[in-house]
Amino acid sequence: MASEPPFATTSGLSVEGTPSELEIWYPRIVSELTLCWNHSGIDTYLHKLIMDERHGRRGFPEEIMEELLFLAGVRWHLYPRDPNVPDVDWIMCARRWP
């Protein structure tokens, strides 16, 4: 993680006004998730975040990945999953989170 978090505003994803790690360190991702949460592109966006296919990348820190998997699990618990998004192993993990 960077030494200083970028500016982040609370988007409603956190509890009691305390920003989540995702909100603190990746406000652009939180903004995108908020904008596309109820739209068809959310499953593809979550898939790209969790299954980054760009080689040579370190990926997200564990606490960020846990939050992304939790959000994916909540999404798929509340709404049907887009059948066009590949059904990969991490989806089963995300479905257990909520």
- Report pLDDT digits (tens) over 58-75: 889 999 999 999 898 888
Tell me the C-alpha distance between 72 and 92, whole Å: 10
What is the pLDDT, as a whole number, of residue 35?
93
Nearest to 88 by CA among 52, 57, 60: 52
Q: Is the pLDDT of residue 48 over 80?
A: yes
CA 51 to chain centre: 11
pTM of the model: 0.68
**What CA–CA distances, in Å, run from 81 to 7, 60, 77?**
32, 23, 9
